[in-house]
Structure 1
């Protein structure tokens, strides 16, 4: 009976933690460029002599969905959406010189012309992207090149190029800030095959219907686990009575 209790209790805990994963996904339904977390579970053997027949459920919640989000037209010069696979590179929020990655392309500039995303510097070929403080137009090309028109001139001048990377999503996880980072902690190399489209933004890839269905399924799983726990308790009580008698 105690072998069943290990599985039941860890399964119930897994269901509760999985609920948190789906709740977080739903909370970011309208967050631009958000990548849904995937809830996965595996088995874990209980360590120690005499526990070979006992196994526990283990939640693995650091996988990220690669499904693209819906893109909308904004017409704003500094709104950029990636076409197909790929990620933008931004300064790591830890400030240690590393990089983090995202699908969100709602860029802004500060008074010094630095290109920012949520207060973090956007990375280009030579480091953080900085635009001329005074310009009358900005155009982001399909390859990520950034061109500006300065006062007094009619031609557009390329000032930098967005750093675009194309890792496998299985190699990525999320940090505490919700940005994507490499599992090995390294910096990714730019990939020239990634294409972008200016004047567009990509929304979250979370499906409200899928998340709600998953939540209801987890509720049923938790109820089953509780019923099994009660049954294991009844079996243990019956065994104790047999021993006493």
Structure 2
């Protein structure tokens, strides 16, 4: 039996995907409102901690959009699932949900091949691949909308706070998502076609902190209908199966 043959029941997700999405979105929004009014003192270590927390929450917003693409945020209400995904991609630097959805499904169909929009086989180095990844997803309209939003928000919030707690975490989050969710899982040679993905070592704490368990990437490709919070269970079952074999 291969790992992909292990059975999981999507129906078990129920409303937990919606609860997870609500928690992440409210945490991100509440933290952002708090931080945009927080006095910045570069000698205060909390500043750097808050940037890291907000970066992680930004990543969670994108992961929620990703789960919506796979239909598991609100699996029993397709319209609600769509609009949550649309909201999350919009909050994440005005990304286009439909465009992301189309490209992500191509990634699953042609993982780590020249037909994969997330893959860069011409140069495996991190920065070259990251640059290629950004070009694939960033559009001029996003930059324009971000600029307009910034100029509106600075009417009410300090410019420094907007840069430190709104813009910087968003940029750092793209590094986090790319490094742990694309680069590490798909670089180099693979021996598990057609998924061509590997997983990090089993450690739920580091897996959550690094990228909401998406370091368990082979499991995500084996069971793309599983939400991020079900991946630890899949990773454990995969390890148990490998040990038996």
TM-score using structure 1 length? 0.22
TM-score using structure 2 length? 0.22
Structure number with the bigger relative contact order (C-alpha 8 A, sep ≥ 6) is 1
User: Which is strand-richer, 1 or 2?
Assistant: 1
User: Which is helix-richer, 1 or 2?
Assistant: 2
